Amino acid sequence: MARSIDPEDYQHVARPVAAMPKDFAAGFQIPPHAHPRAQLVHAVAGLMWVETEAGAWAVPPRYALWIPAGVRHSVRMVTAVAMRTLYVDTGRVGRLPRCCTVIAVSPLLRELIVAAVAEPIEYDEDGRGGHVVALLVDELRASPAAPVHLPMPRDRRLVRIADRLLAEPARDDTLEEWGEAVGASPRTLARRFREDTGMSFAEWRQRARLVLALARLAEGEPVGALAAALGYRSASAFAAMFRRTIGRPPQTYRPGVGDGRA
């Protein structure tokens, strides 16, 4: 019998963790929604773009996004995606994040997610399925957070700036220039960026470029062209930033390269 690909079938099962496999075509969009259970969204192949009111995340294969229960979110498949989702009853599984968090997926965690999907939905809690899930939860708790979260500002003036930078990431306007465009002083904009996002304006702009880079690399854009489109003086400067932040060169996130393939 084929495993259900309806998320509703996984919300009330008599197990603390329920694993669902589902594949999507490039460009497919899941409109804003929420689940009764917390959710770990992971793609064994492909790249997703996930948005909530609090921010946006690029989620490539080496990462997963933890979404607490009840948080409304939308998902866009940047490329074809082989999604493997865990729905978690946090009432039975404690000590997990209370806010949306991107985590680095270790090879062990990836294989445990795949193994959980292969088990029956109502797996034997005293058998292999129960042992897989117990180790999976331990590995999930130990997984470090990853710097691919782009917190979105709420101040309407900052929203105008953020939207423009996401559409034109190479723009290098100063806060003085942005202030003239949106009707606020540079000092006010700087303060509000820190209050709304927890980051300085410069830090937010670099993070935006990084998140966009992950999505565009997955679509196959050459590194040199991408570096120029994001406002870097050279491909080497972009690659240095990328490797310093992500821990791998940008070439490994292009389609068909290693486990970052699309």
Q: Over the stretch 172-189, which tens digit does the pLDDT of each residue have? A: 999 999 999 999 999 999
Query: What are 68-78's pLDDT values in tens digits?
Result: 999 999 998 87
Q: Could you tell me the pTM of the whole model?
A: 0.74
Same domain, 47 and 21: yes
Query: What are 152-172's pLDDT values in tens digits?
Result: 888 999 989 998 998 899 999
94: which 2 tokens? Answer: 């404690």
CATH code of 241's domain: 1.10.10.60
Compute the distance between CA of residue 21 and CA of residue 6 in angstroms, rounded to an integer. 10
**Residue 1 lies inside a defined structural domain of this protein:** no
The stretch 36-43 carries a mean pLDDT of: 96
User: pLDDT above 90 covers what percent of the chain?
Assistant: 69
Task: Count structural domains, the chain.
Answer: 2
Q: What angle do CA 167, 172, 174 make, to 5 degrees?
A: 115
**Residue 69 lies inside a defined structural domain of this protein:** yes
Q: Residue 257 pLDDT more than 80?
A: no
**Residue 2 lies inside a defined structural domain of this protein:** no
Same domain, 121 and 206: no
Same domain, 135 and 155: no
pLDDT at residue 259 in the model: 45
Q: Is 79 helix (H, G, I), strand (E, B) or coil?
A: coil
Q: Is 190 helix (H, G, I), strand (E, B) or coil?
A: helix
Domain boundary among 142, 162, 187: 142
Contacts of 228 (CB under 8 A, 6+ apart): 170
Compute the distance between CA of residue 127 and CA of residue 58 in angstroms, rounded to an integer. 35
pLDDT at residue 256 in the model: 59
* Per-chain mean pLDDT for the chain: 90
Same domain, 113 and 162: no
Same domain, 39 and 115: yes
Same domain, 15 and 124: yes
Residue found under tokens 């999930």: 140
What domain range includes position 256?
151-260
pLDDT at residue 262 in the model: 33
CATH code of 70's domain: 2.60.120.280
- The C-alpha R_g of the chain, in whole angstroms, comes to 19
